Amino acid sequence: MTHIIIADILYLLLLWSVDIIHLISGNTGCRMEKKNKPVDEIKDYLLKNGYKPGHRIPTQLEFSEKLGISARLLRDGINILVNQGFLIPKGRAGTFVSNPQRESVVEPIRWFYETKNIPDYELIRARGVLETAIIKEACSNRTTKDLLLLQQIVDNQSVQDISSKEELILDKEFHIQLISCAHNKALDVVGNVVLLQLDLLYERGLYPSNDQIRPDDHQKILDAVYERNSSLAAELIATHIERCLALANCDIKNPSEIKN
């Protein structure tokens, strides 16, 4: 049942994310509106009629009659949704609603930041707002198993002579597990902004290697979560992210603003 709920959340977020892409790309003219009308009608029909990941959609003839649009426009709309990852064609078996992976929700966000040339510090600030809020939920909802998993990651980070790529992987694992401590599947998806920020810093050569302070930061954060001290945990995570701003050489005078 949990996997079905997660898939539903991802499907809705994926639908939303492409709408955001159309908005931020400035494609608001009549030509684009006419082109996207069949796509919008298909998505609205699927959502309003309870189609879930794995469900087979109506045939093109049935769909054309239900929506009152030509077969050509319907076919074009379905092809667009297939290319966007909403639908999966399976030959004679029909076309099905996709079951998107969590990572697929991140790509529209990546596209936005890369095409709009958003400064690194803006993404780090966004991470700060999200993670300081999420860690408060983590303090309330964490389990013993969560703490053991976090401790194992921190212990692995303390090993000497690991590569920068291995450091990045462990860093991402720590923050994903920290977000998972909130036990809120919607927050799991939103938390991918954290992973995107770390990936982009690494890709741009701004991710520090051999950072001995990172495991210490993580241990202090873990200890605060263990004690369910949400105010201290939020302060520690904000300071940790503030260091990301400094290490990334971001031009910002008051990084502590991310705590607000």
Structure tokens at 129: 């707002």
pLDDT of residue 36: 61
Give 25-50 pLDDT, tens digit per residue. 444 444 444 446 788 889 889 888 98
Give the domains, in start order, of the chain with CATH numbers: 2-101 (1.10.10.10), 118-259 (1.20.120.530)
Per-residue model confidence (pLDDT) at position 103? 57
CA angle 19, 22, 25 (to 5 degrees): 145
pLDDT along the chain (260 residues), means of 10: 47 49 44 61 89 90 88 89 84 86 65 76 83 93 96 90 86 92 83 80 75 88 97 94 69 40
The two tokens of residue 32 are: 């684009």
User: Which candidate, 42, 48, 85, places its Cα nearest to that of 64?
Assistant: 42
> Which residues does 228 contact at the CB level (< 8 Å), separation at least 6?
139, 140, 142
Residue 9: its pLDDT value, please?
Answer: 47
pLDDT at 148: 96
The C-alpha atoms of residue 1 and residue 98 are separated, in whole angstroms, by 17
Which residues 6+ apart lie within 8 Å of 160 measured at CB? Answer: none
Measured CA to CA in angstroms, residue 92 lies from 64, 84, 89, 95 at distances of 18, 21, 9, 9
